[in-house]
């Protein structure tokens, strides 16, 4: 299924620069897009919906996305920078009339005798459709009474229908949403978006800096601090030597009054 662009989220800046963020069904990047638009009105951000089957491919091709909000796991994770964002709870999707539809929670043991609707078979000549359509198809099959499906909570909500119910599932693995981009790619825009996703403020010194730049800056700051410490120690040692030399060269008896100066504690003689 072809990725579907949703258009620029900000007015065109005229400079030809744009930043594309791909995301899989169930992910809601609205809050990050809003922050981007507030801080970077000169660089339009474009959202691109993508199926999970293409979630890594779209950031590895020219004209694709710069980063992708994807669902783990992925093939070849070592080829990508990955920032885990949050966990998704698994939900069971059942026909509305199913005996378990009103349950508060279900376990895998509860579903032992039920039919799982997993991957669907599609004809090879099937035309391209909107990303996420396979989830809609799965829910359609469930609604027809052919079994149940296990979906991430966000996906179950996205494709909710009146004729199906979604119930939390205990004992099944959760899924992880992560921000990813190829290790072979780097840009100020990527680092800025990473900062937004991580919750950095607009005035954060880390915002817009690459990891290498941050590491170099930290090394430079640490080196300067060490240099300043050594300089202070050297100056203190030099002052100690000067004080010691001054005491050594001082006359015996301390600070005696000079000849011709009035003696301390002696007043003028009284007239007789």
In DSSP terms, 8 is beta-bridged to: 46
Average pLDDT over residues 246-258: 58
Question: What's the pLDDT band for 195 if we cut at 50, 70, 90?
Answer: very high
In this structure, the answer to whether residues 141 and 202 fall within a common structural domain is: no
In Å, how far from its chain's centre is CA 219?
A: 23
Q: Which domain holds residue 103?
A: 90-170
Task: Look at residue 24 and tell me whether its pLDDT is greater than 80.
Answer: yes
Residue 36 makes CB contacts below 8 A (sequence gap 6+) with: 9, 19, 45, 192, 193, 196
In this structure, the answer to whether residues 25 and 150 fall within a common structural domain is: no
Average pLDDT over residues 29-36: 95
Question: What's the pLDDT band for 162 if we cut at 50, 70, 90?
Answer: very high
In this structure, the answer to whether residues 82 and 191 fall within a common structural domain is: yes
Average pLDDT over residues 204-223: 44
In this structure, the answer to whether residues 8 and 83 fall within a common structural domain is: yes
Domain with 115 in it: what CATH number?
A: 3.40.190.10
For the chain, give the mean pLDDT.
Answer: 78
**Domain count of the fold of the chain:** 2
Is 60 exposed, middle or buried (CB count within 10 Å of its CB: 0-12, 13-18, 19+)?
middle
């Amino acid at each position: 299924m072809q990725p579907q662009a949703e258009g620029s989220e900000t007015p065109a800046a005229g400079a030809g620069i744009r930043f594309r963020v791909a995301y899989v069904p169930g992910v809601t990047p609205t809050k990050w897009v809003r922050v981007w638009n507030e801080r970077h009105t000169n660089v339009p951000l474009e959202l691109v919906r993508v199926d999970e089957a293409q979630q890594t491919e779209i950031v590895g091709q020219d004209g694709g996305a710069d980063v992708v909000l994807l669902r783990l796991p992925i093939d070849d994770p070592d080829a990508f920078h990955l920032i885990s964002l949050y966990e998704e709870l698994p939900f069971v999707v059942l026909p509305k009339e199913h005996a378990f539809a009103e349950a508060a929670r279900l376990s895998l043991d509860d579903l032992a005798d039920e039919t799982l609707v997993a991957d669907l078979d599609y004809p090879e000549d099937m035309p391209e459709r909107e990303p996420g359509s396979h989830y809609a198809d799965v829910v359609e099959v469930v609604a027809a009474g052919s079994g149940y499906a296990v979906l991430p909570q966000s996906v179950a909500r996205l494709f909710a229908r009146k004729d199906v119910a979604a119930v939390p599932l205990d004992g099944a693995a959760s899924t992880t949403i992560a921000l990813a981009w190829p290790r072979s790619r780097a840009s100020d825009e990527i680092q800025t978006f990473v900062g937004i996703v991580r919750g950095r403020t607009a005035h954060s010194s880390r915002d817009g800096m690459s990891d290498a730049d941050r590491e170099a800056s930290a090394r430079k700051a640490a080196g300067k601090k060490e240099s300043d410490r050594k300089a202070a120690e050297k100056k203190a040692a030099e002052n100690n030597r000067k004080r010691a030399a001054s005491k050594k060269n001082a006359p015996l008896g301390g600070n005696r009054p000079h000849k011709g100066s009035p003696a301390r504690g002696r007043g003028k003689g009284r007239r007789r």
